[in-house]
């Protein structure tokens, strides 16, 4: 028979579950919710993303594409060699006690297979000496006129945008690395 305590506990659990599903809990992450609902759901008003702290701005100086460099190399070629093995295993069982004790002995053969990698000559392979890189050089990095000719490694899409931009046009991107 249900008591009042069980009913109240069940209703409380149901209420907590419903509030959690609606996102009304106090532990919800406010950073995922938008501050204002303006512009949501309509494609005519595009919201510009705020630049991240890693974003770099400056005047386009030059661009450079460094192709991937490869070289042929050799390494030991290994193959798997397996050997079958078998061994005779002795089994015993006893029954009875004292002078009536009998011991029965029988043998079985256990088969096994052992495999190992062994060297068998050499093989050639293509190794990457230098990965493909796309680089952009900026002047006035972050508005600082003293920072000129700073090279950044960028993604292919950022490189394409900087390549078609005019000389000394303001560009903004997130670099994947520094130097070139």
- First-to-last C-alpha distance (Å) of the chain: 77
pTM of the model: 0.45
Regions of the chain where pLDDT drops below 70: 1-3, 15, 18-53
C-beta separation of 75 from 123 below 8 A: yes
Residue 22 main-chain phi, psi, to 5 deg: -85, -10
138-160 pLDDT, tens digit per residue, is 888 877 777 788 888 999 998 89
Distance CA 70, CA 62 (A): 26
Residue found under tokens 């009042």: 4
Angle ∠(174,176,180) on CA atoms, nearest 5: 115
Distance CA 110, CA 112 (A): 7
């Amino acid at each position: 028979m249900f008591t009042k305590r069980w009913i109240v506990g069940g209703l409380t659990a149901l209420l907590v579950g419903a509030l959690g599903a609606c996102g009304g809990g106090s532990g919800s992450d406010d950073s995922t919710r938008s501050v204002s609902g303006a512009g949501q759901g309509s494609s005519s008003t595009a919201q510009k993303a705020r630049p991240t702290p890693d974003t770099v701005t400056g005047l386009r100086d030059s661009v450079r594409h460094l192709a991937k460099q490869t070289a042929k190399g050799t390494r030991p070629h290994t193959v798997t060699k397996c050997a079958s093995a078998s061994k005779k295993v002795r089994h015993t069982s006893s029954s009875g006690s004292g002078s009536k004790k009998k011991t029965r002995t029988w043998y079985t053969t256990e088969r096994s297979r052992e495999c190992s990698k062994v060297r068998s000559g050499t093989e050639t392979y293509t190794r990457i000496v230098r990965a493909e890189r796309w680089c952009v050089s900026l002047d006035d990095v972050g508005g600082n006129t003293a920072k000129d000719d700073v090279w950044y490694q960028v993604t292919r899409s950022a490189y394409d945008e900087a390549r078609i931009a005019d000389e000394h046009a303001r560009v903004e991107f997130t670099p994947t690395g520094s130097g070139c």
